[in-house]
Every structure is written in C-alpha cells, then in structure tokens.
Structure 1
Amino acid sequence: MKPTDPKETGSSRLPFLRGLLPFNRAQFPHDVVAGVTLAALGIPEVMGYTKIAGTPAVTGLYTILLPLIAFALLGGSRHLVAAADSATAAILAGTLVTVAAFGSPEYVGLTSTVALTVAAMLVLARIFRLGFLADFLSRSALIGFLTGVGLQVAIGELAGLIGLPKEGHGPVGQIASVVQRLADTHYATLVLSVAVLAVIIGFERLAPRIPGALIAVVGAIAASAAFNFTQHGIAVIGNVPSGLPSLSVPALHLAHIDQVLATSASCFIVILAQSVATARAYANRYNERVDANLDIVGLAGANAAAAVTGTFVVNGSPTKTEMVDSAGGRSQVAHLTTAAIVLLVLLFLTRPLSFMPSAVLSAIVFLIGVKLVDLKGMKELYRLQKDEFFLALITAAVVVFVDVKHGIIVAVFLSFIDHARHSYRLRTRVLTRDAAGRWQAHPVAPQLFAAPGIVVYRFEADIFYANAGRFMEEVLKLVENANPPVRWLVVDASEVSNIDYTAGKMLLQLGEELSRRGIGIASVAVPDGVRAELERYRKFAGEAGRQEIFATVDAAVDALRDAAPPPPRPAAA
C-alpha cells in the first residue's frame, strides 16, 4: 500500500495530528476493525500488566484510554501504540516495592508520580532534541534486558497458576518457594490455568486472527459467575470500579524522591529505546518519514495523561503495534477506536470483570513473559556476533538475579562500552598501487610504499582521546621499521568525521616527532570530513604545525613524489 505523502496536504504543517492526517476514507473501515481487534486482544493483556506492576486491575484499562488518545493527537507515528508495557511495569514493581506495599494507595500514587516524572523527562528530551539517545541502548542489550524481564515475569506467575500466593525474593527464591509448596497446589485453579493457556496457545497456533485471550477471559468470567468459583476456592479479582477515572495531579512524594527519580530514569531509557525503534521500523515498512522528537512529544502527553488518571507509565508497545498492523490498521484512527471501546467497558461492563479468576490474569501474564524471552534473537547473536551475545546474556542475568533497575543500568553501561570498544579498536590500512594503478589496502606493515619513500596510512574511524595514543604508536612503528627510509607519510583521513582536542594535539605532536626525523607529513581530508578541523589546528600551531592537506590520495602522492621532505628539526632543549 502506497502511503499518502503528507506534503500533499496542509496538515503536514501542523505540529500534531500527524498520526491521523491526512485522513484516508478508503482506509477508515480497516482502521476501525483494527481498533476493535486491539481492544479485544489488548484489554486482557493490559489487565495482566497490572499484576506485574502491582496496581489494581482497572488501572490497566486506564492505560488504553486517555494515553492512547493523547498519543494519537500529539505523536508523529501513524502506527505506534502507547499503552501499558511489560518492561516498564516490571521496572515499577522491582523498584517501588521497596518503599510501599503492592496495591496500596501509596504505591499506586507513586506509580502515577513516576508517570508524571517520565513525562517531564520526555518534554526535556524534546526541548533538547535528545531523540538520538534511543540509539545508545544497543539492540543486543535490549534483547538481553527484555529476555531477563520475560524470565522474571513468567517465574513470578508460577505460584498464581497453581493457586498459591507469591512468596520468595527474586526468581530463584520464587521457584524454590513453589517447589517447596507443590503439595499445597489448588487443583481447581491449576486446571483452570491449564485450560486458559490451552485456549490462548491453541488459537494463536491454529487461528491467530481470532482473539483467543478474549475468548478465554469471557469464558472464564461466565463460568465464574455461573458456578460461583469463590465457593470452590478459586480467587477472583473482585470489584472493578466503573465510570471514568478521576483526574488529579499525583502527589510529589518528597520522602521517596530518590526512588522516584531512579525509577523514572530507568523507564525513560526503555521508553526512548523501545518506542523509537518500533516507530522507526513501521515507518520504514510503509515508506513514511520518522520524527523521533515528535513521537517523544506524544509519549510525554501519553504519560502525563496516565499520571492524571491514576495509572502507571505507558510505553510504545511492539506487541500491540503489531496487533494493529496485522489487523490492517494504518493510522491512529485504530487507536481512537480502541479508546472508545475501553470507555464503553468502563461505563457498562466492569461488573462482569469482577468475576474474572485471578488465575486467568496469571496465565496471560505468564505467556507475556514467555514471549518476551527472545530465544531467536539470542541464537542469532550467538551465531552472528558472539561478543554481543555475551553482552545480552550478562544483561539478562543481572535482571533475573539482581533486579530490573540494575539490569537497565547494566544494559546502558554495556551499550556504551560496546560502542567505545568498536571506536577504540583500530581499523587501519596501508595503501599501495597494483599493476593496473588501482589502490590496494593491506594490513599495516612496513615496506609497503605507495611511491618511492611515500607511505599512505589510512585510518578508518574517528580519532579521539581513547585511540589517539594507539594511532601515534602505530605510525611511529611504521616509519621506524621502513627500509628504505620514509620521506613522506600521508595520513588518509577521508573516512574520519571527527577529531577531538586530544587527538588534534596528538597530530601536532606526531608532526613534530616526524619532522625531527626528517619525515614530512601530509593529510588527505574532504570538506565534509575533518578538513576544517585540521586547518584550524595547523593555523593554531603555526610553523610547528606545518602540514600539507590534499583532497585525494592521488593528489597527495603526485604532489609529494618529487618533493623533498622538510629538513630535520632539532629536538627542543
């Protein structure tokens, strides 16, 4: 399907409604159907996320009411669904539980405060155009983080599947607790859990377009109401408040400000990385423009809406976005349709929800956790990039064996380490001409001349403080071991886009060192690379920084072939 070019309409000039305009009449019925599908699949899912986040079940419905509308009006993506998400729900549960009890008014208030703080952080990110920060949580670290979250979430529901209260600290303690109490299993609850899992998995495998989760939920509610499950020892979620959420600004909670800020920062990082990556993937699929900073505005609005309606952080959800896309949705009209259906549920259908067995939500959450465990991604990493596989594995292990907050810290830290390692690692070559006059690149070694007495050394990475010393060391070894002696060293910096202060001073020092040895130095740099920076350092150093700068390697070699190097300079006293 060829998307309508937003340039064709004045709506493209608006800083909002990008996900809704231009309106496509032919697409409208498909978007409505996709919205109904998202409601059918998403309502049970977001109620399941409340078990992860530790908030009342109705707060899950609130995440797909005003937050969906806010993102539809303010965001830039036509596809991204901003709603409750397992990763951010797990961060809340793993951090805020240390200062308030699950489900308590204080705890729920803290989750709303975190949502408001995240909204403020996203606003600041938009003001300073920090959308690029999403690129600094590497895909491999994100795979490991979500895999760890999935394991933690799935393990946390094992007790609920067999009708036991959750006990034990962390996944290992929870598994041990379940094993020790197997004799106390409530078999009616276990049978119900297995039936729900069978229905959901069966429909996913055999008829994926049919909402198996919704069928399981409706069936379980009907059975619970008809057979009074509570009399048989099967727990139900109980009263679900009806009507619209009340609007209020959450309290600041100064006593827990450190915990709120740390939790918000963790959620902020995950939201940036996951939401921007998801929006970009679907924009590329349909040849649409990506505006990460506008999506940040939409996410800020969605989280502010979540905060004032008493619910928790929302995130760009890859699973819900795929639900809408698979159902034919191509604009935020689908998400507004979902919000309208949720409104009807809150007004008229909350009483039936009170009969929902708790084991149904445990089963739904268990499957959510299992799906987050990205075995395919881990296998691909192991096969294609083993070093990044271990980065993902370490991140997952920290999430499982420590906690989610430290897992996201480790994910970000390892992403930066991985980036620095790739930048630090030298990618260098020496160039020579073959018989046909074409340039050939060789691993760095002496006795490789581009012309008599001329060595061309190519550096294929930005030069900065961490690799500047290695650069200088390799160049000096190259000229020291050359026989016959080198007259000119040509540094091919055409692949370099940045030189920091440390590297600039190192180049001046290298020029002085080579000059003392009677070796001239020249550079190859292009106008959109680092030519201006090299010129600036050369002028700053004056005579000590004299160095020829050429546009191409050919120009440098041709000009220097018969040129005498500068006379050796005496060492400074």
Structure 2
Amino acid sequence: MDLGVIHIKNLTSRLKGTLFSGLLPLDRSRFIPELIAGIVMAAIFIPEVMGYAKIAGMPIITGIYTIIIPMAVFVILGSSRHLIVGADSATAAIMFGILVTVAMPGSPVYTSMAFLVAFLCGILLVLAWVFKLGFIGDFLSRTALVGFLTGVGIQVSISQLGAMFGLTTTGIDSIPRILSFLSNLSQTNLYTLAISVGVLLVIIITGRINRKIPGALIAVAGTILLSFFYDFTQMGVSLVGSVPSGIPSLMVPSFQSLDFYVLFTTVMACFIVIIAQSVATSRAYSVKCSDELDENKDVLGLGLSNILAGLTGSFVVNGSPTKTQIAVDAGARSQLATLVTAAVVIVVVIFFTEPVSLLPNATLAAIVFLIGLEMVDITSLKAIYREMPAEFVLAIITFMTVVLAGVLWGVIVSVIISLILHLSHSYRPNNSILIRNEKGEWAYIPVILGVYTEEGLIVYRFNRDLYYANAEKLMKEVIKIVKNSDPPLEWLILDSGGFTGVDYTSVQMLKELKVKLDEMNVVLVMTTVFPSLRRQFERSGFMKILGKENLYGGVNDAINAFENRK
C-alpha cells in the first residue's frame, strides 16, 4: 500500500473522536449557566478584542471577527473545555511590532500581511499536529515568557499614552515614543484626557466591585452615548469612524508587494508564542478543573482557527489566558458558552456596528493601556527572584530587550534564553551514586568522591539524556570517581535509565570510556538499557566493545552479579 495513503489513514484515525471534545457530552443542567456565561463573555470580549485590533494596527472589525469563526472552529476541533481562542495581546503586539517596520498600520499591504501571518501560522500549526510537535512550546521557558510578556505589556501601555492625551506621537519602540510624548505634552487635549481618565476609573472600580461586571463594555457604551449627545469632534476628540457591518466572508490574502523576510519572521514568532502560551494555558485549566486534555488536538484546533482567520479578513488568534480566566469567572465549564458568545457577536456585527463609529479613540486607548498593564506579571517576577535568582536576571534581560529594542529582538532573546536554560540544565546534571541509607535501603545521593555502593563497586547514574554537549562531562566525572577510589574500584555500573537515546558523539565517548576503564582494571557494566537504546548500541558496534555479559536488565541484577562473581 502507498505510504501516502497509509499516512492519510493514520491522520483520519487520529481525527476520530476529535470533534467537539470540549463540548460533549452536554450536561442539560448546565445549559442556562453556560448561556449566561456566554452572554457575559461576549460583553467583555467585544471591547477587549477591539483593543487588541488597535494593538495589532488593524481595523476594529477584524478584531471582532476573531471571536466568530476562529472561536467556533476551535470549539469543533479542540479538546480543552476551557481554553478560549481569539485575538490576544501578545500575538497582536508581536505582529504589530514586526510588520510596522515595513508597512503603515491599516494600509492594504499591512492588512494583507496580517491576513497571511494568520493563514501561514495556521499551516505551521496543522503541520505541528501532523508530526506531533506540540512539545515545541515547551522550549519557550516560563522565565523567558514572563519577561517577554512583561516587556510587551510595558510597550503596549506606552504606545497608548499619545491617544489617551490626544497627542500625535512618533516612533515604533518605547524610548522614541516616550520622548515624542513628552515633547508634545503641552498640546494635550483636556477633553480627550478626561475621557481616558473616566474610562480607566470605570474599568478599575467595576473590577474591584466584581470581575464579572463588564467595565470595559460600560465604558464603551457610556462614551458612545456621550459622543451621540455631544459633538466630540468639535472638542478635538477623535472618533473611531465607520465600522463595516455583516458577518465575515471568505477571501484570499494577496501575496503581492510583500516583504517575505518580515512575513516569515512574524509567522515564526507568532507560531512559537501561540503554542507556548496556548498549551500552558490549556494545561493549567485542565489541572485546575480536573479535565482531560489532548494537547495535539488543541494544536490542530488552533491551526484551523488561524487558517480561517486569515481567510475571513481577520488576524492571528491564540489560546488566550485572559479570555480563559474571564470565561471561568463567568461560569463557563464547557465550550457551549463559547458558541453562545460567537452567536451574540454575530448579532452585534449585523445590527450594532453603526454606534461604534461614535466611539472615541481615547476609550480604546485607555482599554488597551490597562490590557498592557495586566500583562506586567509582577507576581511571577517576584516568584522567579525568590526561587531562582539567576533566572530572574534572564527574565529582566528579556523584558528590557523588548522595551528598548522592540518585540522582534524580544522574541529572539526569549528563544535564546530558553535554549540557554535548557542547555544549562542538561549540561550540568546533578548525577548520583547508589548507596544504602541509614535504614539499610537503597537510595541515590549526589556524587561524593570516595563513597561506594559496596566495597569495590559504584553504581553511577547520569541524570539527563546523554548527547554531544554533556558526553565529555560523564566521562570526566566517571574517571575522577575511579581515580579517587581507595581501595581500588573493581566494577562501575552505569545506570542508563535516564537515557532515551544517544547521539554519535556520545557513543564514541562510551567506547573511549570503556577502553580507559579497561586500562584502569575497572569493569564497565550497564543497566536499564531500553530496547531502542540497545539497538543504537548494536548498530554503532558499542555492544561488541562492552560485551553482552556486561549488560543487565536492572541495577539489582548487576549488584547481585558483582556479589556472586567469585
């Protein structure tokens, strides 16, 4: 049978049971609570995604579109009962921070690139599902992500100061924007500033009273009413202007006149953050709410949500931590509430977009300003400083990179720092020696020179996967242990239970280690060798060098063999 046909059949089998995992089975007793939660979510999400559209440099309607089709697609294909998909501040800021370097926000070239970013992110996510690459998100460390999002939050808040004060500011990155803002501060429009302050107070006060109160919606409705009764334009207050009505329709993004390097960079940056943030959020809420989760199904749902976002005139969507928390607070316990939200938003875009044209830009700027501040994760930064001071420095480096050099460099530094953390943990593992403790039980302890498992015997465990970067460390440590053994060591048992596989460099090191130990009259014994690892040893010829008589299934078998060797 053709391999392509087999692969398609495998994918089809993986799709069985996938549809509506986050919705089914329906609990009839939950219908009314889910209905109410969906309406509350719509009331909060609509002004929020309008703010995200502003962060992304996109027309307001494109933000609203993110909570119609993309949200509904994830309900069909995702597995999480709680993860909410839609526009998110992190990916919106990444997209804007990179695309703005080559195109004017809101221009045809800019919007075309934004649609393509969503579409191509979707393609990458679907490929990640096909090849089960959801684990990629694990390589963006929590430390780097906290620093990155905090920096993005600061940058987002700074970017809104001009609009909140009624000023025109220049610059893309934070420092030029601040300087431009300060130089034009004398031209502040007091009416615009009053609207901004009023919106901030409404949202903050209602949030303090009860998080379920849609403070942003109240502020939006209130300022639209004021704009209707008073001619804000005569006061120098700028308005959002015309917003198209109707549900989104299918379109094909244009590839003409685009900067493909910038497009590729944006797609890769958004792809990494989408997986990292979405998977982390779905995991957190599956544990919190005791639900089952299939991360790869969620990756598929995110992929098709983004493809449809790009094909329906919207921008990149993400598994949003803020929206998910809002949904849980509103009482949502399944994706039924999400479908209700999408239905409510459809009604809004068909019948109620005209009043939005009267919305002051200062209202959206104030909402976005608060969204940015909420991204500043002081709690997590304090926890990192308290628990891992060295990693706190890396988080601050990431944060400062975003603020001073921009989102693109922030993404690059985040990935580099994540890789450094991964390498540092795998390169310097805390290895162990097996001894009998005070109770006479076997226990692993950190390596201490001169300590034996039994006289003439040491069981040594290397507590990480073995690969080119740490192979030399294993050999040096083993040789050091042998040289510091008095009386002389007879057997060294290498417990390889921590190895899932080895690379070429590691195999060559093991061959060399075997030769060196033979010269020192020490028998090298290996235990807990998984079948896949054994096959690698056989292919490489290491098994012949080691000798099958020096391979044991478990540590106890090897110890017994040592004790009965004479």
**How does the TM-score come out when normalised to structure 2?**
0.93
Secondary structure of residue in 2 paired with 1:491 = strand
Are the aligned partners of 1:490 and 1:522 in contact in 2 as well (CA < 8 Å)? Answer: yes
Which residue in 2 is equivalent to 1:113? 116
Which residue in 2 is equivalent to 1:221? 224
Alpha-carbon distance in structure 1 between the residues aligned to 2:353 and 2:49:
15
Secondary structure of residue in 2 paired with 1:523 = strand
Number of equivalences:
552
Which residue in 1 is equivalent to 2:409? 406
More moved, 408-417 vs 219-228:
408-417
Which residue in 1 is equivalent to 2:333? 330
Are the aligned partners of 1:521 and 1:547 in contact in 2 as well (CA < 8 Å)? Answer: no
Matched, 1:80 2:48: no
Which residue in 2 is equivalent to 1:381? 384
Q: How much does 1:552 deviate?
A: 3.8
Of 498, 503, 507, the residue aligned with 2:510 is 507
Alpha-carbon distance in structure 2 between the residues aligned to 1:25 and 1:60:
32
Which residue in 1 is equivalent to 2:466? 463
Alpha-carbon distance in structure 2 between the residues aligned to 1:437 and 1:246:
72
Structure 2 CA distance for partners of 1:505 and 1:362, relative to 1, 3 Å? same
Secondary structure of residue in 2 paired with 1:64 = coil
Which residue in 2 is equivalent to 1:246? 249
The within-5 A match list for 1:128-277 is 128-253=131-256, 255-277=258-280
Counterpart code for 1:536: E
Q: 1:346-394: CA deviations, max 9, x gaps?
A: 1111111111000000000000000000010100000011222222212
Which residue in 1 is equivalent to 2:559? 557
Q: How much does 1:461 deviate?
A: 1.9
Alpha-carbon distance in structure 2 between the residues aligned to 1:190 and 1:196:
10
Counterpart code for 1:94: G
Q: How much does 1:534 deviate?
A: 7.7
Q: How much does 1:555 deviate?
A: 3.2
More moved, 237-246 vs 112-121:
237-246
Q: How much does 1:233 deviate?
A: 1.0
Of 106, 112, 116, the residue aligned with 1:103 is 106
Are the aligned partners of 1:469 and 1:506 in contact in 2 as well (CA < 8 Å)? Answer: yes
Q: How much does 1:195 deviate?
A: 0.7
Counterpart code for 1:557: I
Alpha-carbon distance in structure 1 between the residues aligned to 2:438 and 2:371:
62
Are the aligned partners of 1:46 and 1:60 in contact in 2 as well (CA < 8 Å)? Answer: yes
Of 543, 547, 550, the residue aligned with 1:548 is 550
Alpha-carbon distance in structure 2 between the residues aligned to 1:397 and 1:561:
59
Secondary structure of residue in 1 paired with 2:250 = coil
Alpha-carbon distance in structure 1 between the residues aligned to 2:391 and 2:411:
16
Structure 2 CA distance for partners of 1:435 and 1:83, relative to 1, 3 Å? closer
More moved, 473-482 vs 437-446:
437-446
Counterpart code for 1:131: G
Counterpart code for 1:491: L
The within-5 A match list for 1:338-417 is 338-417=341-420
Alpha-carbon distance in structure 1 between the residues aligned to 2:436 and 2:300:
54
More moved, 439-448 vs 199-208:
439-448
Which residue in 2 is equivalent to 1:298? 301
Structure 2 CA distance for partners of 1:533 and 1:425, relative to 1, 3 Å? farther
Q: 1:139-166: CA deviations, max 9, x gaps?
A: 1111111111101000101111111013
Structure 2 CA distance for partners of 1:446 and 1:129, relative to 1, 3 Å? closer
Structure 2 CA distance for partners of 1:434 and 1:59, relative to 1, 3 Å? closer
Alpha-carbon distance in structure 1 between the residues aligned to 2:380 and 2:437:
43
Alpha-carbon distance in structure 2 between the residues aligned to 1:294 and 1:444:
42
Are the aligned partners of 2:524 and 2:546 in contact in 1 as well (CA < 8 Å)? Answer: no
Structure 2 CA distance for partners of 1:547 and 1:378, relative to 1, 3 Å? farther
Structure 2 CA distance for partners of 1:189 and 1:440, relative to 1, 3 Å? same
Segments of 5+ residues of structure 2 without an aligned counterpart are: 1-14
Structure 2 CA distance for partners of 1:538 and 1:264, relative to 1, 3 Å? closer
Q: 1:95-124: CA deviations, max 9, x gaps?
A: 111221111122112111111111111121
Which residue in 1 is equivalent to 2:538? 536
Structure 2 CA distance for partners of 1:439 and 1:247, relative to 1, 3 Å? closer
Segments of 5+ residues of structure 1 without an aligned counterpart are: 1-11, 565-573
Secondary structure of residue in 1 paired with 2:461 = strand
Are the aligned partners of 1:118 and 1:265 in contact in 2 as well (CA < 8 Å)? Answer: yes
Are the aligned partners of 2:507 and 2:540 in contact in 1 as well (CA < 8 Å)? Answer: no
More moved, 473-482 vs 109-118:
473-482
More moved, 195-204 vs 442-451:
442-451
Which residue in 1 is equivalent to 2:68? 65
Secondary structure of residue in 2 paired with 1:27 = helix
Are the aligned partners of 1:110 and 1:253 in contact in 2 as well (CA < 8 Å)? Answer: no
Q: How much does 1:51 deviate?
A: 1.4
Q: How much does 1:131 deviate?
A: 1.1
Q: How much does 1:487 deviate?
A: 1.8
Q: How much does 1:168 deviate?
A: 2.9
Are the aligned partners of 1:162 and 1:185 in contact in 2 as well (CA < 8 Å)? Answer: yes
Alpha-carbon distance in structure 2 between the residues aligned to 1:438 and 1:74:
50
Alpha-carbon distance in structure 2 between the residues aligned to 1:135 and 1:117:
21
Are the aligned partners of 2:109 and 2:258 in contact in 1 as well (CA < 8 Å)? Answer: no
More moved, 474-483 vs 123-132:
474-483
More moved, 555-564 vs 167-176:
555-564
Structure 2 CA distance for partners of 1:558 and 1:264, relative to 1, 3 Å? same
More moved, 504-513 vs 217-226:
504-513
Which residue in 2 is equivalent to 1:473? 476
Secondary structure of residue in 2 paired with 1:26 = helix
Alpha-carbon distance in structure 2 between the residues aligned to 1:222 and 1:291:
46
Q: How much does 1:202 deviate?
A: 0.3
More moved, 186-195 vs 303-312:
303-312
Of 308, 311, 315, the residue aligned with 1:312 is 315
Secondary structure of residue in 2 paired with 1:246 = coil
Counterpart code for 1:340: A
Secondary structure of residue in 1 paired with 2:150 = helix
Are the aligned partners of 1:504 and 1:537 in contact in 2 as well (CA < 8 Å)? Answer: no
Secondary structure of residue in 2 paired with 1:234 = coil
More moved, 211-220 vs 432-441:
432-441
Are the aligned partners of 2:121 and 2:267 in contact in 1 as well (CA < 8 Å)? Answer: yes
Secondary structure of residue in 1 paired with 2:310 = helix
Secondary structure of residue in 1 paired with 2:485 = coil
Alpha-carbon distance in structure 2 between the residues aligned to 1:159 and 1:25:
49
Are the aligned partners of 1:398 and 1:407 in contact in 2 as well (CA < 8 Å)? Answer: yes
More moved, 407-416 vs 453-462:
453-462
More moved, 237-246 vs 220-229:
237-246
Alpha-carbon distance in structure 2 between the residues aligned to 1:126 and 1:494:
29
Are the aligned partners of 1:495 and 1:529 in contact in 2 as well (CA < 8 Å)? Answer: no
Alpha-carbon distance in structure 1 between the residues aligned to 2:447 and 2:542:
31
**How does the TM-score come out when normalised to structure 1?**
0.92
Are the aligned partners of 2:511 and 2:545 in contact in 1 as well (CA < 8 Å)? Answer: no
Alpha-carbon distance in structure 2 between the residues aligned to 1:312 and 1:544:
57
Aligned-pair Cα RMSD in Å: 2.1
Are the aligned partners of 2:500 and 2:530 in contact in 1 as well (CA < 8 Å)? Answer: no
Q: How much does 1:562 deviate?
A: 5.8
Counterpart code for 1:558: N
% same residue? 45
Alpha-carbon distance in structure 1 between the residues aligned to 2:406 and 2:195:
31
Alpha-carbon distance in structure 2 between the residues aligned to 1:85 and 1:432:
52
Structure 2 CA distance for partners of 1:545 and 1:177, relative to 1, 3 Å? same
